[in-house]
Amino acid sequence: MSVQPVLISGQWLPSAGQETFQAVDPSTKQPLALRFPISPWAEIEAVIRHASEAAAIVRSWPGERFASFLEDYACRIETHAADLIAIAHRETGLPVEPRLKTAELPRTVNQLRQAAACARDGSWATATIDTKSNIRAQFGPIGPVVVFGPNNFPYAYNGIAGGDFASAVAAGNPVIAKGHSSHPGTTLRLAQLCHEAAQATGMPAGFVQLIYRTSHADGYKLVSHPLIGASGYTGARSTGLSLKDAADKGGKPFYCELSSVNPVFVLPGALQERLPAVVDEFVGSCLMGAGQFCTNPGLVVVSEGASSEQFISAVAARFDAAPVGTMLSGGVESNFRAGLVALQQAGATVVCGNKPADHHRYCYANTLLRVSGEDYLKKPHGLQSEAFGNASLVVVARDLAQMIAIAKTLEGNLTGGLYTDTQGSDDAAYHDLAPWIREKVGRLLNDKMPTGVAVVSSMNHGGPFPATGHPGFTAVGFPGSIHRFAMLQSYDNVRVHRLPPALRDKNPTGKQWRLIDGNWSQADVP
Amino acid sequence: MSVQPVLISGQWLPSAGQETFQAVDPSTKQPLALRFPISPWAEIEAVIRHASEAAAIVRSWPGERFASFLEDYACRIETHAADLIAIAHRETGLPVEPRLKTAELPRTVNQLRQAAACARDGSWATATIDTKSNIRAQFGPIGPVVVFGPNNFPYAYNGIAGGDFASAVAAGNPVIAKGHSSHPGTTLRLAQLCHEAAQATGMPAGFVQLIYRTSHADGYKLVSHPLIGASGYTGARSTGLSLKDAADKGGKPFYCELSSVNPVFVLPGALQERLPAVVDEFVGSCLMGAGQFCTNPGLVVVSEGASSEQFISAVAARFDAAPVGTMLSGGVESNFRAGLVALQQAGATVVCGNKPADHHRYCYANTLLRVSGEDYLKKPHGLQSEAFGNASLVVVARDLAQMIAIAKTLEGNLTGGLYTDTQGSDDAAYHDLAPWIREKVGRLLNDKMPTGVAVVSSMNHGGPFPATGHPGFTAVGFPGSIHRFAMLQSYDNVRVHRLPPALRDKNPTGKQWRLIDGNWSQADVP
């Protein structure tokens, strides 16, 4: 069986690697036809060198060039949507409708176009001019970016098409994409389109490259290599921490999204006011995509009482009645089951589910667990174990004081939320509780479930460790996400004809926002 | 002899530590009178807890509160300048005029006031509003900040008064200052004024705290503690890397300024046009403050030829004739001498200096070394060893191609510069060479020496590893430096009365810059 090629320096080449792997159809547990290579170090090193050469070629290119490439690529994805959807559905088991076709693929195309708009506009670079000292600064490309895509978003977080890819390119950086092993065919197809777009828009050979898999040790060498600028990683916590450690030692920024249980605190008034609606929203958010979202609500905190018992019963009934979604891979299923075991070992009891569902595909019953606030506080660490999938743990707190105590134990999360009534009866509790959640999460939600990450400038898809490695950056939303892949470049006394266009007196487009003597302006330097 | 107290939770208390240390007058090599404690872990842990409590108290305070505190403190420093200057002069050997009195102390006061202005204005927080999705975000405080001040700026980088302190406070964070062991008396005096200012402006007890020294192991526990938000460190590379490693493992941002040789490339036309002026500027920059600046020009690259030989001879003559400055400590002198040995072992030869100067104080002769471009390229790593002090290494390159090859070997630096003629004869060389320097440095200078770091919005006092740990941040300049100590906080569907004032429709001051639907504005949300 032939092995699929890697994309190196603008060419589809056979990998020098001897080892190969195949993806598996999670709906049938059967291996898929295509075979993909594991790249050896010499090959990875060549990829790095080519990326570095590409970085040197494009470093003074105007944003327009990157914008054209991203937009051309977005069009190609739309043109070949049917093909991409068929492949991704087979490799991930994610539903075609609405997930792949109506939600994720359009979102991916939208991200590429938003990144393109930012690259063209240039305002993301925060051009800063101090006229008195004649010192001028802007953000510029950081150097080749390695992107490790996760299993759960075959397009929107794909190493060769997703948000990290788009933001790295918008900043003017070559990308080395590391495909996820569970959907290599989708990644290959995207990379073909990406490569065509790069050729059509005149990008240099090493600007976009693709490998599928490396040894762990080679991954560490890759992210810490002196010629690498930074890396983006979305995936399992243990792998991410090992890569982060290597990158940190090499002094290379490593943006990682590792894990999150996304606590939702449901205050008593909300349940009294609209229990069925809250149940609806929670069940929908928790079971969507078999719960395989970074922002899945895995921890729900309620207050002791009849309403909360009704909430738990209603959710359990809905969980039992709902179809059981297919999981992305055997690894996801086994990690999910291990997560459920860890939660039980820490003191949680099963309300419903926690059993095999269908042996012909990767899946496990929709599962609800519960624990008292008192027991939670005995083992807050163990009870924040992530069971990535269609499960959630309800903590039944004695009172508001205990809810606050629980909030104080939270690890860093991507999101945290509070449900409150609309008439003000929860206002005092919100006031006392919300600040403790606020400091532990990147995005604070109110009366809204955390799944669904809008690609807007005000989004923060990030949060304190261990949700990510740095609480100051977002992986979603423009221009914010671009800043991860930029270095600050100050120019001191540099003669005007040697300055980048955005730092000269004349506004290069008449529209770029620049910080001139402390004020944001689209005008020329006066 | 009594031991000086530590500042914990708003009180000057005797340390529980049994071990103590004294500073040394570097002009006499005699120990100074005051004795300072080494804090044990239990004491440090109490400090962390108090800082965390203070963070909870101030987290929703308006910027005005932090501004008032910083401004009150700045006034107190001015009022007590004479006292502060006498102590710092004794502890550091730095000249009173112009260094301490006319340059550093006013700069420090200016930094505190600029930080205050940013805190009051609020624009630093980059309030971002997307009206369509009703998601809103801003930067908020990251949590208690630990600041490790360096030896070479007793005020402007002091843990309890310098740029890291000012920017951490401007973001709304309590500070745990760790004084430098070579000027604990200066730090104590500053902390007394800081504490008075905190009391006068109603800051909570644990908002500013001071310890002088910890064991290495306790330092690692401190920077990685779950209740800590981030740390700022300026100092030796080895100590900084160990602390960074600990902080990285704990997922805590660690902003460090570690080392930099600040390469200056002198192109042929510049020497032909104005050799005496270039010699003047270089000698002044290299010997000022006995060369003990982070931005000292420690590596000069010239092109083979008569002008370069004249440059070297002229610099050597000036180095021999110039007074030899007093170094900050015995450690600085011994590290400096070790640095010179390392450079020679890597192939550099001594042009002048490299001998003891005055045994009664810490100092060593002004030293110039040289090496050929060819020999440099054999050991580029060893020849970038930092000899922190009054020395520089001249690399004599064969031609422009070799200069570029040298630039490509550079490690990350705070600054890099090019000297060029004013008539255009160096234009082509600048064009080919500058981009390679640009990507290795935070601040690119043209016809200007790197010492002298203006506190302006466009400054970048930062750069790629190992100059710092992240090339996207600056330690000097507002509002940029404040972002290091902030976390991104998004609010999704949060009801308007629960939003922070800057994220409501009405502009809180009528002047705060906010990014509304992609445009910067000082207006209300339309």
Condensed to tens digits (0 to 9), the pLDDT of residues B185-196 reads: 999 999 999 999
Query: With the C-alpha atoms ordered B514, B519, B522, B526, is the resulting torsion angle positive or negative?
Result: negative
Question: Is A1 a residue whose pLDDT tops 90?
Answer: no
The pLDDT value given to residue B42: 98
Q: Is A493 in Cβ contact with B471 (below 8 Å)?
A: no
Among B133, B470, B492, beta carbon nearest to A444? B492
pLDDT tens, residue by residue, A195-254: 999 999 999 999 999 999 999 999 999 999 999 999 999 999 999 999 999 999 999 999
Among B249, B431, B486, beta carbon nearest to A245? B249
Which DSSP letter does residue A406 get? Answer: H
pLDDT tens, residue by residue, A115-144: 999 999 999 999 999 999 999 999 999 999
All structural domains of chain B, each given as residue ranges with its CATH number in brackets, are 6-125+136-231 (3.40.605.10), 263-446 (3.40.309.10)
Among B438, B458, B466, beta carbon nearest to A129? B458
Among A142, A435, A445, beta carbon nearest to B59? A435
Distance from CA of A248 to the nearest CA of B (A): 7
Please tell me the distance from the alpha carbon of residue A515 to that of residue A493, in angstroms, as a whole number.
18
The pLDDT value given to residue B242: 98
Q: With the CA atoms of A433, A436, A437 and A440 taken in that order, what torsion angle do they form, in degrees rounded to the nearest 10?
A: 180
Q: Summarize the confidence of residues B202-214 as an average pLDDT.
A: 98
Cα distances from A432 to residues A303, A435, A438, B508, in angstroms, run 15, 7, 11, 23
Distance from CA of B207 to the nearest CA of A (A): 17
For residue B153, the tally of other CB atoms under 10 A from its CB is 26
Long-range contacts of A241-250 (CB under 8 A, 24+ apart): A241/A466, A242/A216, A243/A148, A243/A219, A244/A469, A244/B248, A245/B248, A245/B249, A246/A219, A246/A220, A246/A221, A247/A223, A248/B244, A248/B245, A248/B248, A249/A224, A249/B245, A250/A223, A250/A224, A250/A225, A250/A226, A250/B465
Please tell me the distance from the alpha carbon of residue B235 to that of residue B233, in angstroms, as a whole number.
6
pLDDT mean across residues, chain A: 97
The residues pairing with A352 across neighbouring beta strands, listed in sequence order, are: A368
In which residue are the tokens 């550099």 written? B348
Q: Is B29 left (phi over 0), alpha (psi -120 to 50) or beta?
A: left
Choose the mutation target among B426, B432, B487 for the interface with A, i.e. most A CBs under 10 Å: B487
Distance from CA of A418 to the nearest CA of B (A): 9
The pLDDT value given to residue A114: 98
Please tell me the distance from the alpha carbon of residue B478 to that of residue B464, in angstroms, as a whole number.
20
pLDDT mean across residues, chain B: 97
> Which residues of chain A neighbour B487 with C-beta distances below 8 Å?
439, 442, 464, 471-472
> Which residues of chain A neighbour B457 with C-beta distances below 8 Å?
128, 130, 515, 517-518
* Sequential DSSP letters for A125-143: G--EEETTTTEEEEEEE-S
Q: Summarize the confidence of residues A294-310 as an average pLDDT.
A: 97
B69 closest CA partner among B189, B153, B193, B159: B193
> Which residues of chain B neighbour A442 with C-beta distances below 8 Å?
487-490
Q: Is B252 in Cβ contact with A128 (below 8 Å)?
A: no
The yes/no answer to whether this complex scores an ipTM above 0.95 is: yes
Q: Summarize the confidence of residues A285-314 as an average pLDDT.
A: 97
Please tell me the distance from the alpha carbon of residue A229 to that of residue A175, in angstroms, as a whole number.
10
Closest-CA residue in chain A for B436? A56
The pLDDT value given to residue B60: 93
Q: Is B490 in Cβ contact with A251 (below 8 Å)?
A: no
Instruction: Give the number of beta-carbon pairs within 8 Å between A and B.
Output: 202
Phi, psi at A358, each rounded to 5°: -155, 115
Residues in CB range of A326: below 8 A, 6 or more apart? A26, A27, A93, A94, A290, A361, A362, A363
B263 closest CA partner among B65, B407, B125: B407
**pLDDT band of A97, cuts 50, 70, 90:** very high
> Which residues of chain B neighbour A136 with C-beta distances below 8 Å?
458
Question: Is A103 a residue whose pLDDT tops 80?
Answer: yes
Catalogue the E-assigned strands of A235-305: 254-257, 263-266, 299-303
Q: Summarize the confidence of residues A287-291 as an average pLDDT.
A: 95
Long-range contacts of A84-90 (CB under 8 A, 24+ apart): A84/A155, A84/A186, A84/A189, A84/A190, A87/A183, A87/A185, A87/A186, A87/A189, A88/A154, A88/A155, A88/A183, A88/A186, A90/A25, A90/A32, A90/A185
Question: Is A321 a residue whose pLDDT tops 70?
Answer: yes
Choose the mutation target among A488, A493, A495, A514 for the interface with B, i.e. most B CBs under 10 Å: A488
B518 closest CA partner among A94, A243, A520, A266: A520
Q: Is A248 in Cβ contact with B439 (below 8 Å)?
A: no
pLDDT tens, residue by residue, A409-461: 999 999 999 999 999 999 999 999 999 999 999 999 999 999 999 999 999 99
Please tell me the distance from the alpha carbon of residue B467 to that of residue B440, in angstroms, as a whole number.
9
Q: Is A438 in Cβ contact with B56 (below 8 Å)?
A: no
Q: Summarize the confidence of residues B294-310 as an average pLDDT.
A: 97
Closest-CA residue in chain B for A127? B458
Closest-CA residue in chain B for A117? B518
The pLDDT value given to residue B343: 98
Question: For residue B321, with 0-12 CB atoms within 10 Å meaning exposed, 13-18 middle and 19 or more buried, which class applies?
Answer: exposed
pLDDT tens, residue by residue, A183-195: 999 999 999 999 9
Q: Summarize the confidence of residues A334-356 as an average pLDDT.
A: 98
Question: Is B223 a residue whose pLDDT tops 70?
Answer: yes
- Do B456 and A135 form a contact (C-beta atoms < 8 A)? yes
Among A133, A444, A472, beta carbon nearest to B454? A133
Among A471, A473, A488, beta carbon nearest to B460? A488
The pLDDT value given to residue B1: 59
> Which residues of chain A neighbour B430 with C-beta distances below 8 Å?
498
- Which residues of A does the annotation mark as catalytic? 257, 294
Output the six-digit token pair for B174.
Answer: 């309590």
> Which residues of chain A neighbour B464 with C-beta distances below 8 Å?
251, 487
The pLDDT value given to residue A159: 98
Please tell me the distance from the alpha carbon of residue B56 to that of residue A437, in angstroms, as a whole number.
12
Q: Is A495 in Cβ contact with B487 (below 8 Å)?
A: no
Percent of chain A with pLDDT over 70: 100
> Which residues of chain A neighbour B514 with C-beta distances below 8 Å?
none
The pLDDT value given to residue A267: 98
The pLDDT value given to residue A311: 98
Distance from CA of B188 to the nearest CA of A (A): 32
- Which residues of B does the annotation mark as catalytic? 257, 294
The residues pairing with B72 across neighbouring beta strands, listed in sequence order, are: none
